[in-house]
Amino acid sequence: MSEKTEFFPDDFERIAGEPDAVVDSGFTSDSYWRDVRRRFITNRGAVIALVFIILIVFFAAFGPVMNQYSYKDQNLSQKNFAPRIPLLEKLGIFNGDEALKTTMGVKNINGYRDKNLPDVYYWFGSDTLGRDIWTRVWEGARISLGIAVVSALINMTLGLCFGLISGYFGGLTDSIMQRFAEINNGIPRLVIVTLLLLVFRPGFVTIVLALVITDWISMSRIARAEMLKLKEQEFVLASRTLGANHRTIIFREVLPNIIGQVFTQLMFSIPTAIFMEAFLSFVGLGIPVPQCSLGSLINDAFNSFTTHPYQIIPPILVLALLMLCFNILADGLREAFDPKLKEM
Amino acid sequence: MENQTRKKVMEIRNLSITFRTAVGPVHAIRGVDLDMHRGETVAIVGESGSGKSVTMKAAMGIMDKNGQVDSGTIFYTYLSDDKTEKTVDILQMKKKELRRHINGKRIAMIFQDPMTSLDPTMMIGRQIIEGMLWHKRATRKAAWGKAVKLLEEAGIDDAEKRMKNYPHQLSGGMRQRVVIAIALACDPDLLICDEPTTALDVTIQAKILELIQRIQKERNICVIYITHDLGVVAKIADYVNVMYAGRIIEKGTVDEIFFDPRHPYTWGLLSAMPDMDMSNERLFAIPGSPPNLLHDIQGDAFAPRNPFALNIDKRLEPPMFRISKTHFAATWLLDPRAPKVEMPEILKNRIQAMREGEIGHG
Amino acid sequence: MKSFIFKRILISVFTLLAITLLLFLLLQLMPGSPFNDEKLNDDQRAVLNTKYGLDQPLPVQFCKYVLNLVKGDFGVSYNISKNTPISQLVQSRIPASVKVGGMAVSLGALTGLLLGIVAALKRGTFWDSLSTVISVLGVSVPSYVFALALSYFVGFKLNLLPMLYNMKEPFASIILPSIALSMFTMASIARFTRNEMLEVLGSEYMLLAESKGISGAPLILRHALRNALIPIVTVLAPLIVDLITGSLVVEKIFSIPGIGSLLVTAIQSNDYNVVIALSFIYSALYIAIMLVVDILYGLIDPRIRLSKEGGAPGRPGFITRWARVLRPKRKAV
């Protein structure tokens, strides 16, 4: 107080009335969901990942109808054409040129020019059977995404029910269910999937089934842990005292409280499923021809990937991008739902 | 009379600390002055978040990485290895020097939660002797012997055998005794206790308090006691500092604070103290909650919760008014121009009862 | 601790038996008995069935099957190389797989640890961001994308290292496959180590150690690393298993004559006997790894070693470990 302080005449009067109602700004906040959304939007990586996913989904839905080709039309006279895109070709890129390394040295070929097809465009090139890669990539993405989403949803339902029931009833029920899960988990999923696909014919349904058998456990684990935590809490006890039946407690009281974690786990299981499907296709247990998935496209193009690398790049790029984006998105969601994780 | 005999160990002046957080800078400490003397127990009292732990962590040089000292000094006086008296500013010291010469060796700390403050993968014996070996205070064998003695002193039976236990094999109370033994391993002259009994059972609390008190007397060291429990303060402290929103708002001897409190916040704290003798009285709570230190504070931080607030409280932060040689409080109510305000009736009765109890006991 | 090991071994044996039963039943279900040859008439088939014990009740057959497995007799291959004993086929394939797999595990674990530790210690710096980027990429991009990219750019375009496995360059030709295979392990371990380290660094006992005056290398080595490394052991098991899955693809891409590529060939040529035999081997390997890691974990963590029950609170369960690999508790800030 060394500086001169200016005092006003009323300074030393009591403030009239009650003390101000203190609004605790540290804890007031908007609703939970608005908070989640705000935290998510401020996470730049997750938003970019979401945009990419939306783009890929859009192309998976509409990509195949953007040109006149279909995913199974073969045109053996137009096989192994390098990518050619209108407008861009004038810049000297994507003009159908391809450098072939032969024993005699590097040779430049251009299928469109050599076969005199000035009006033919394969945006991503054509494969060894003369099919349009653009169409097939998006068709493949559609099937891969379909398999992933369907199996992830079934996984979620199954794992959720299993985990919630196991955790809720506890005791012997829990013990039996957990031993079952443990033994199931003791078998390598590679083995389960391989055997399943050997017995049944590979196809959309069997692949989904194989993915479900191997991946529901992590969801059930989360559901059980949360149930064990929540079932002792007051709001659950209260509704139990009020006579609510088991189903109401499990699905009305507990489930809404773990929806964040469930959703995050769902997002994490999608890339796992995409990867597993691609893996199966690559070892020859994938979607049967002429249908294609990202994995089977990579498998097909692998055989000629040193001579025609452009055939393998699009499916690999889409696959890697999908997995990366889903992982980043899921990470972002987890942080949005559970900010404590980030504060540490 | 004190000035000749009291020997200053630590002197904190105008300490301000800001934490960078995801939501913005938090001004956790806003100009703290504090003195500690040899052979005395100083208590720092306040609600959680008032900045008591942060202040002492700064004095230890173990502040969280996102914390930043804006201003201030922490002078620490000690007898250096060559027996000369040395005074250093802890805030100016390099981390390495601090660890080498001060931490553990001269200033030690006891943490709040004994369940988490011991390394789970190391035998407790090794944890005790680690400091002694590190500061080259003893050979391995001597250190081991001293550690056993310390454990015995801390009230652990079968100390020799316990040395080879891992923390998870001990109960909470035992672990806190181990933490105390670790703190005492290098004979520090300043012992900081950060709510050492909060995480323990009530029966064990009393024993740990007695232990700390006994050690303080025997070794004639300075003990700083951080707590929110006024009951503990009354029992062990010589001097009391009341903190609110990153500042010390009242300080004095334990008698001055308990029998003649001047700050409305101290009144509130004392009224809120649960008391066995007055079980029929309504428990008092201070209305509202502490201010959010994310925002700059205008005037007196306590004003919004203060039923006796003056107009000036909204505008200007009160200075420390001197009540006695040892007793200070930061409230405009002590300004001669302020209206005379009496402490609440309920507290008056309480203090009256306490005084009588004191006489009765004494 | 002893009873804990005993219990774990019991569970492992039981699981393996369950798998064997499953495999055995599948074998019965498979189309094409070994004697489906059209040239055989019913009588001849009956004679053969008796000779091989196929006319006996299933439980008896199962016991024989298990006995044979224990002896290392997996039967013969039908399609890949007719009538060669599978054990012989497998034996010739083991060295290459072990070499690549072992190299990938050590490479992945070491670089992962290093990256994770550096990232945690230099939190918020360039190293931290680098480690985060690498681990996000490594976890999300399938190993065969790395394999193809490495094979194309390093092997084909730059011609630095052999594109395909060959006997003439035993070391040089396993470098690329090992790197490709180790990416996932490395990324996961880097991420896990970083999170584990950060948790330990922020713990009260580190604060206590610092307040004792301990600093520098002793602080990190004695207190931080020790505590952070224990849980990392638990994620090694699932990672090695993922590596086995990855090896199928990587072996195919680099034409490595290993177990993985044998399985792929067997699948593609419908050689059920080989597939089932390899499934058994993989399962046994998987269960053995899980067992070893569990016991190892118990041995290095005093909290488990010294408790009679063998399980400390908070010890990550069997299944959570999978989850912990892919989804560490805390993410980069």
Which tops the pLDDT comparison, A234 or C121?
C121
Report d(CA B158, CA B172) in Å as an integer.
17
- Nearest CB to B104; choose among C204, C212, C312: C212
Residues A283-290 have a mean pLDDT of 77
CB A325 within 8 A of CB A57: no
Q: What are the chain C neighbours of A324 within 8 Å (beta carbons)?
A: 136-137, 140-141
Q: Say which range, B7-16, B68-77, B132-141, has the weakest mean pLDDT.
A: B132-141
Tell me the DSSP string of A273-311.
HHHHHHHHHHTT-SSPTTS--HHHHHHHHHTTTTT-GGG
Q: Say which range, B180-194, C67-81, C166-180, has the weakest mean pLDDT.
A: C67-81
The answer on pLDDT for A75 being more than 90 is no
Instruction: Give the list of residues 6+ apart from residue B303 with CB closer than 8 angstroms, or none.
Output: A15, A19, B309, B313, B314
According to the model, what pLDDT value does residue C17 have?
87
Please name the residue of chain A whose CA is at the shortest distance from the CA of residue B321: A1
Both tokens of B39, joined, read: 């052979």
Residues B242-269 have a mean pLDDT of 92
Q: Say which range, A49-53, B248-252, C29-33, has the weakest mean pLDDT.
A: C29-33
Percent of chain C residues past pLDDT 70, beyond the cut:
84
Interchain contact A87–B (C-beta under 8 A): no
Most B CBs within 10 Å, among A3, A12, A39, A340, to test the B interface: A12
According to the model, what pLDDT value does residue A339 have?
62
Interchain contact C331–B (C-beta under 8 A): no
Confidence of residue A20 (pLDDT cuts 50, 70, 90): low
Report d(CA C127, CA C131) in Å as an integer.
6
Looking at the complex, report in whole angstroms how far the Cα of residue B346 sits from the nearest Cα belonging to chain C: 41
Interchain contact A106–C (C-beta under 8 A): no
Across the interface, whether the CB atoms of A190 and C144 are under 8 A apart is answered: no
Which tops the pLDDT comparison, C332 or A133?
A133
According to the model, what pLDDT value does residue C175 have?
87
CB B228 within 8 A of CB B48: yes
Please name the residue of chain C whose CA is at the shortest distance from the CA of residue A338: C330
- Nearest CB to C227; choose among B99, B120, B185: B120
Across the interface, whether the CB atoms of B314 and A14 are under 8 A apart is answered: no
The burial of A91, by beta-carbon neighbours within 10 Å (0-12 exposed, 13-18 middle, 19 or more buried), is given as exposed
Confidence of residue A16 (pLDDT cuts 50, 70, 90): low
Q: Say which range, A275-289, C41-55, C68-82, C287-301, has the weakest mean pLDDT.
A: C41-55
According to the model, what pLDDT value does residue A167 have?
87
According to the model, what pLDDT value does residue C147 have?
86
Please provide the average confidence, as pLDDT, over all residues in chain C. 78
Which tops the pLDDT comparison, B163 or C58?
B163
pLDDT, tens digit (0-9, with 9 covering 90-100), for B198-229: 877 888 888 888 888 988 998 899 999 999 88
Of the candidates C260, C257, C259, which has an alpha carbon nearest to the alpha carbon of residue C170?
C257
Q: Say which range, A161-175, A203-217, A261-275, C305-319, has the weakest mean pLDDT.
A: C305-319
The answer on pLDDT for C324 being more than 80 is no
According to the model, what pLDDT value does residue C5 have?
81
Report d(CA B113, CA B125) in Å as an integer.
19
According to the model, what pLDDT value does residue C157 have?
78
Confidence of residue B358 (pLDDT cuts 50, 70, 90): low
Q: Say which range, A77-81, C23-27, C171-175, has the weakest mean pLDDT.
A: A77-81
Interchain contact A195–C (C-beta under 8 A): yes
Report d(CA B18, CA B72) in Å as an integer.
12
The answer on pLDDT for A173 being more than 50 is yes
The answer on pLDDT for A3 being more than 60 is no
Confidence of residue B192 (pLDDT cuts 50, 70, 90): very high
Across the interface, whether the CB atoms of C303 and B120 are under 8 A apart is answered: yes
- DSSP 8-state symbol, B122: S
Interchain contact B289–A (C-beta under 8 A): yes
pLDDT, tens digit (0-9, with 9 covering 90-100), for C181-214: 898 889 889 988 888 888 888 888 998 998 888 8
Confidence of residue C312 (pLDDT cuts 50, 70, 90): very low
According to the model, what pLDDT value does residue C37 have?
55
Q: What separation in angstroms does the CA of C163 have from each of A100, C152, C250?
A: 18, 8, 12
Interchain contact B312–A (C-beta under 8 A): yes
According to the model, what pLDDT value does residue A84 have?
76
According to the model, what pLDDT value does residue B45 have?
93
Interchain contact C295–B (C-beta under 8 A): no
Q: Give the A:B interface size as CB pairs under 8 Å.
A: 62
Report d(CA A315, CA A27) in Å as an integer.
48
The answer on pLDDT for C221 being more than 50 is yes
The answer on pLDDT for A91 being more than 70 is yes
Percent of chain B residues past pLDDT 90, beyond the cut:
34
According to the model, what pLDDT value does residue B276 have?
52
**Greatest Cα-to-Cα distance within chain B, rounded to the nearest angstrom:** 67
Q: How many CB atoms lie within 10 A of CB C213?
A: 24
Report d(CA C220, CA C211) in Å as an integer.
14
Confidence of residue C36 (pLDDT cuts 50, 70, 90): low
- Nearest CB to A5; choose among B22, B287, B316: B316
Residues B177-185 have a mean pLDDT of 90
Please provide the average confidence, as pLDDT, over all residues in chain B. 86
Confidence of residue A11 (pLDDT cuts 50, 70, 90): confident
The answer on pLDDT for A296 being more than 80 is yes
Across the interface, whether the CB atoms of A13 and B332 are under 8 A apart is answered: no
Looking at the complex, report in whole angstroms how far the Cα of residue A242 sits from the nearest Cα belonging to chain C: 33
Both tokens of A234, joined, read: 């007051």
Q: What are the chain B neighbours of A21 within 8 Å (beta carbons)?
A: 288
Range from A35-49, A182-196, A295-309, C41-55 that averages highest in pLDDT? A35-49
Both tokens of C102, joined, read: 């072992």
The answer on pLDDT for C332 being more than 60 is no
According to the model, what pLDDT value does residue B75 have?
93
Across the interface, whether the CB atoms of C248 and A342 are under 8 A apart is answered: no
Across the interface, whether the CB atoms of C211 and B62 are under 8 A apart is answered: yes
Report d(CA C46, CA B161) in Å as an integer.
73
The answer on pLDDT for C308 being more than 70 is no
The answer on pLDDT for A322 being more than 50 is yes
According to the model, what pLDDT value does residue B73 have?
93
Q: Give the B:C interface size as CB pairs under 8 Å.
A: 84
Which sign does the torsion angle of CA C203, C207, C212, C215 carry?
positive
According to the model, what pLDDT value does residue C326 have?
41
Residues C63-77 have a mean pLDDT of 81
Report d(CA B31, CA B35) in Å as an integer.
14
Q: What are the chain A neighbours of C322 within 8 Å (beta carbons)?
A: 185, 217-218
The answer on pLDDT for C316 being more than 60 is no
Q: Which residues of A276-310 are buried (b: 16+ CB within 10 A; e: fewer)?
A: bbbbbbbbbbbbeeebbbbbbbbbbbbeebeebbb
Report d(CA B66, CA B54) in Å as an integer.
12
According to the model, what pLDDT value does residue C304 have?
67
Q: What are the chain C neighbours of B185 within 8 Å (beta carbons)?
A: 212
Confidence of residue C329 (pLDDT cuts 50, 70, 90): very low
Q: What are the chain A neighbours of C282 within 8 Å (beta carbons)?
A: 188, 190-191
DSSP 3-state assignment of C298? helix
The answer on pLDDT for C56 being more than 80 is no
Confidence of residue A1 (pLDDT cuts 50, 70, 90): very low
Q: Residue type for A115, please?
A: K
Element of type H or E holding C241 = helix C226-253
Across the interface, whether the CB atoms of B295 and A25 are under 8 A apart is answered: yes
Residues A172-201 have a mean pLDDT of 78
According to the model, what pLDDT value does residue C32 have?
54
Element of type H or E holding C43 = helix C42-51
The answer on pLDDT for A22 being more than 60 is no
Confidence of residue B278 (pLDDT cuts 50, 70, 90): low
According to the model, what pLDDT value does residue B228 have?
86
Both tokens of C21, joined, read: 């039963």
Which tops the pLDDT comparison, A117 or A152?
A152
Please provide the average confidence, as pLDDT, over all residues in chain A. 79
Across the interface, whether the CB atoms of C302 and B121 are under 8 A apart is answered: yes
The answer on pLDDT for A2 being more than 70 is no
Across the interface, whether the CB atoms of A343 and B311 are under 8 A apart is answered: no
Q: What angle do CA B47, B48, B53 make, to 5 degrees?
A: 110
Interface chains of chain C (3 or more CB pairs under 8 Å): A, B
According to the model, what pLDDT value does residue B328 have?
94
The answer on pLDDT for C13 being more than 70 is yes
Percent of chain C residues past pLDDT 90, beyond the cut:
5
The answer on pLDDT for A13 being more than 80 is no
Residues of chain A numbered 9-48 and touching chain B (CB < 8 Å): 10-15, 18-22, 24-26
Which tops the pLDDT comparison, C329 or A253?
A253
Across the interface, whether the CB atoms of B120 and C223 are under 8 A apart is answered: no
